[in-house]
Chain A
């Protein structure tokens, strides 16, 4: 088991290197001048050179890459061209904001996804199954930015029950888990939870249906176990896969949704990426993508480990 886990962790190192390379290359291959926001229209060649040197754009791409990775390993992702603030601070602040949102969205998505999935699987081919399946299909199919706008129109603009935008009365700077801040989180979190909810529901439904058809369930029933007792066994068998699916969904949510965070002006990683793209802020764009990619890689490992701990057959296989 330990050897498996160590091997799994070691595998991530080349993946992380590859991710860093791809992220660096993609951003540099995109057209446009990264200094456009700080260069005057009639910038002299001398000033252009000076600014390029200041941001390190005068060096060759391999040199820039090595320097970028080396600094990143020391926690320095450079300085944002647009805001002049350290990229690490910018990204980590956004990550924390997205994390709050993603955790709440995950809890909502996982709870209702499992609920719909178990109910649909347990009562398969009934009207309950059809209703729960319809909801899960809708969850996966409905464009979430559209759903966000609909929720805003109903609950913010029409009913004035919940705030439409932002991270709280004083922003995320003085965040607390209180009603005033949670209110700001509800609409984006519900919007965000819809996709994982649908995916988890569909996965769990299929799992439950498959497990219920297995012989050991027949055996359990034959032993005289109650419905609840059988259900406990079903849950135990379905949990590792459901957890893995949700873990991956959490990874996606941590990336933040550019559309959702922009619609709700939620100051997370999606919002930050949007700003970085439109300002063509190369250091910020690279730093944000890198941190998100690393989160995703790490999360995959964590999910693998948790899955292995829950089901030792995985390590043995």
Chain B
């Protein structure tokens, strides 16, 4: 008689399932070492969103740092390989460039041969023309108004591009402008062929609708020519890049296999993420956590940066800053060493917009330092005393991109200036509103009677660092000369710099401009950002240059 098999009890089945699960887990664990060999770098950014990925990033220069430079190339690059010298311009996708000797509004760029975009298409003169047209030519099918803002402001004189041959292109400016090669570090080259594929597949009733949809699709699956290529994009959450092993610059072929970028706007959250091992790199750690971070064996990198944290002064009628003695007194009365201590060492003490030793320094006659006696003397000469303090009102923000720690820093400066007979009041407003007001100027009702405004600014290129604050052509609402500072002398110095096409001559002209700016003091220079970032010790070959930017391509991981 055949025996009927007894069904196994339920717990036996569970045990079998558990065994299978356990074996599966064991297999997965055994498989882990192969996966773990991947060199994965996880970065927590300060941005609340992933900077735009379509070639012209937003989120300020953090966008250029994390979705511009790693994924794309520009015609010209910043040299980010040195920590002990200011970053200078080097060839990128252009091998060389020269201005037309007869017509200084025309530049010829010789392009690098053999460069491929991540989609396999060729980089050439057509690609340059296409990328210029995308932001300047409203009639171009791929014109994208949303990219204009972050482009036009960084190369204000660029007007058009023309192909000469496959590897030569001519760029035209509205006026002679020697700053153009510097500005072009911000024009990242996206792949026209890849965009065309997206356009062909895009829905839309009109070409404009299809173009808009194509850019959205391109942003989700971008193609540049940079050392990293985009592999995964989860909006507002993460961007994953993989090494482009076929990158044209052998020195910058990435050794790290994959980079994950995570938006984390809150400083304590970033710090906790680093301490709990969730990420390998955080931007701007919480100032009071520096010790804890270092005690866990992590490293903190910082360096002088072209980023100024000032009070920009008003020269409108009735402003107390019209008196140069008062401007100098304020610059001499800020205890910057004390402020440095307050920020846990994470700031630079300014001597001007650029530091001594910079090609644009110029050795100004006015020395920005902490000298309360001299400051008081100047204020007394200007008719002020403890009994008769000078009332000044400053518009500031409570937070904001690049604004460091605006409230405690401004309160510290307020106390510091009190000893030199300044009575400082603040008008605290929301960051974007402050940023809007910055362009409207000190005479606009939105200034609310303020005599100064506290907006930090990048000083990478001459236009951003100096020209927009000192030219009569940039009075509000044209650009950021909020305080209406400028005269014929400064316009001449700017023109000299802009029309000097030899690097040394241009630097010399800019040095003269910088020296005069420091001497006339349209700012109270309070701090320079030093761009603190913390990383695990596993991240190697880190070079923190004297720049807003940093090169991930040359780093490695243990």
B145 partner, pick from A51, A162, A163, beta carbons under 8 A: A51
Most chain B CB within a 10 A radius of its CB, from A90, A94, A267, A274: A267
On whether A165 and B216 interact (CB within 8 A), knowing A32-B432, A83-B235, the answer reads no
What's the Cα separation between A153 and B289 when bound, in Å?
12
A62 at interface, CB cutoff 8 A? no
Instruction: Give chain A interface residues in 248-267, CB to chain B under 8 Å.
Output: 262-265, 267
Do the beta carbons of B431 and A278 come within 8 Å of each other?
yes
List B contacts of A33 (CB < 8 A).
432, 436
Q: Does A43 interact with chain B (Cβ within 8 Å)?
A: yes
Is A37 a contact of B58 with CB atoms below 8 Å? Answer: yes
Residues in A neighbouring B405, C-beta threshold 8 A: none
Pick out which of these stretches binds chain B: A1-9, A99-107, A167-175, A288-296: A167-175
Contact status A171-B272, CB under 8 Å: no
What are the interface flags for B268-284 relative to A under an 8 Å C-beta threshold, 1 for contact and 0 otherwise? Answer: 11011101111000000
When chains A and B are docked, how far (Å) is the Cα of A31 from the Cα of B219? 31
Establish whether residues A32 and B236, one from each chain, have CB atoms under 8 Å apart when the complex forms: no
Contact between B278 and A165, CB atoms less than 8 A apart: yes
Judged by a CB distance under 8 angstroms, whether B479 is at the interface is yes
Interchain CB contact under 8 A, B235 and A90:
yes
* Contact pattern, A 263-290, Cβ under 8 Å of B = 1, otherwise 0: 1110100011011001110000000000
Determine the distance from Cα of A167 to Cα of B278 in the docked complex, in whole angstroms. 12
CB proximity of B47 to chain A, nearest CB, Å: 9
Q: A84-B52, A164-B278 are in contact. Are A262 and B468 (CB under 8 A)?
A: no
A61 to B97, CA, bound (A): 50
CA distance A54 to B266 in the complex (A): 33
**Is B377 close to A, CB under 8 A?**
no
- A126 in contact (CB, < 8 A): no
Complex Cα–Cα for A156 and B479 (A): 46
Report A145 CB to chain B, min CB distance, Å. 9
Q: Is the CB of B269 within 8 A of A40?
A: no
| B49 CB within 8 Å of chain A | yes
Interface-side segment among B257-265, B367-375, B526-534: B257-265
Q: Which A residue's beta carbon lies closest to that of B47?
A: A275
Count of A-B contacts with CB under 8 A?
A: 164
- Cβ contacts under 8 Å, A41 to chain B: 153, 439, 468, 479-480
In the complex, what distance in Å separates the CA atom of A274 from the CA atom of B473?
36
Does B291 sit at the interface, judged by CB under 8 A? no
Chain B residues with CB below 8 A from A81, complex form: 146
Q: Which of A40, A94, A262 has the most chain B CB within a 10 Å cutoff?
A: A40
Instruction: Assess the A165–B436 pair: CB atoms within 8 A.
Output: no
Question: When the two chains form the complex, which single residue of B154, B272, B430 contacts A152, counting CB atoms closer than 8 Å?
Answer: B272
Complex interface residues of chain B between 118 and 149 (CB less than 8 A to chain A) = 138, 145-146, 148-149
Q: Does B478 contact A (CB under 8 A)?
A: yes
Check A43–B58 contact: CB distance below 8 A. no
B235 A265 Cβ-Cβ under 8 A: no
- Taking a contact as CB atoms closer than 8 A, the residue among B48, B148, B275 that contacts A275 in the complex is B48
CB-CB under 8 A from A262, the residues of chain B are 265-266, 269
Chain A 42-58 interface 0/1 with B at a Cβ cutoff of 8 Å (1 = within)? 11000100110010000
Docked Cα-Cα span, A119 to B310, in Å, equals 60
Kindly state whether residue B502 has any CB partner on chain A within 8 Å.
Answer: no
Which residues of chain A are near B480, meaning CB under 8 Å?
A: 41
- The verdict on A47 contacting B148 (CB below 8 Å), with A36-B436, A265-B266, A267-B236 known, is yes
> Is the pair B146, A264 in contact by a Cβ cutoff of 8 Å?
no
A166: CB under 8 A from chain B? yes
Q: When the two chains form their complex, are residues B269 and A164 in contact, meaning their CB atoms are under 8 A apart?
A: yes
Contact indicator per residue, chain B 436-469, by CB within 8 Å of chain A (1) or not (0):
1001000000100000000000000000000010
0/1 string, B44-80, CB within 8 A of A gives 1 = 1000110010100010000000000000000000000
Of residues 97 through 148 on chain A, the ones whose CB sits less than 8 Å from some CB of chain B are none
Q: Are B432 and A280 in contact (CB under 8 A)?
A: yes
Task: Say yes or no: is A39 at the interface (Cβ < 8 Å to chain B).
Answer: yes
Q: Are A160 and B48 in contact (CB under 8 A)?
A: no
Q: Shortest beta-carbon distance, A98 to chain B, in Å?
A: 13
A82-B49 CB under 8 A given contacts A165-B278, A171-B237: yes
B219 touching A84 by the CB < 8 A rule? yes
In the complex, A149 has a CB within 8 A of chain B: yes
Q: Is A309 an interface residue (CB 8 A)?
A: no
Q: Which of A164, A263, A275: most chain B Cβ within 10 A?
A: A164
Flag whether A66 is at the interface (Cβ < 8 A). Answer: no
- Least Cβ–Cβ distance between B446 and chain A, in angstroms: 8
Known: A83-B235, A263-B266, A265-B262. A40 touches B152 (CB 8 A): yes
Contact A265 B264 (CB under 8 A): yes
- Please give the residue numbers on chain B whose beta carbons come within 8 Å of chain A beta carbons, in ascending order: 44, 48-49, 52, 54, 58, 138, 145-146, 148-154, 156, 215-216, 219, 234-238, 262-266, 268-269, 271-273, 275-278, 399-400, 429-433, 435-436, 439, 446, 468, 474, 478-480
Can you spell out 23 A-B residue pairs with CB atoms less than 8 angstroms apart?
A31-B430, A31-B433, A32-B432, A33-B436, A35-B149, A40-B148, A40-B150, A41-B480, A84-B215, A85-B235, A93-B236, A157-B276, A160-B277, A164-B272, A164-B278, A165-B273, A166-B237, A166-B278, A171-B234, A172-B237, A173-B234, A267-B237, A271-B236
Interface residues of A (CB under 8 A from B): 31-33, 35-43, 47, 50-51, 54, 81-85, 90, 93-94, 149, 152-153, 156-157, 160, 162-167, 170-173, 262-265, 267, 271-272, 274-275, 278-280
| Given contact pairs A40-B151, A156-B273, a sample of 19 additional A-B residue pairs in the complex whose CB atoms are under 8 Å apart | A38-B146, A42-B156, A47-B152, A51-B149, A54-B145, A81-B146, A83-B52, A84-B54, A84-B215, A84-B219, A85-B219, A90-B236, A93-B236, A157-B276, A163-B273, A165-B262, A265-B262, A272-B236, A278-B265
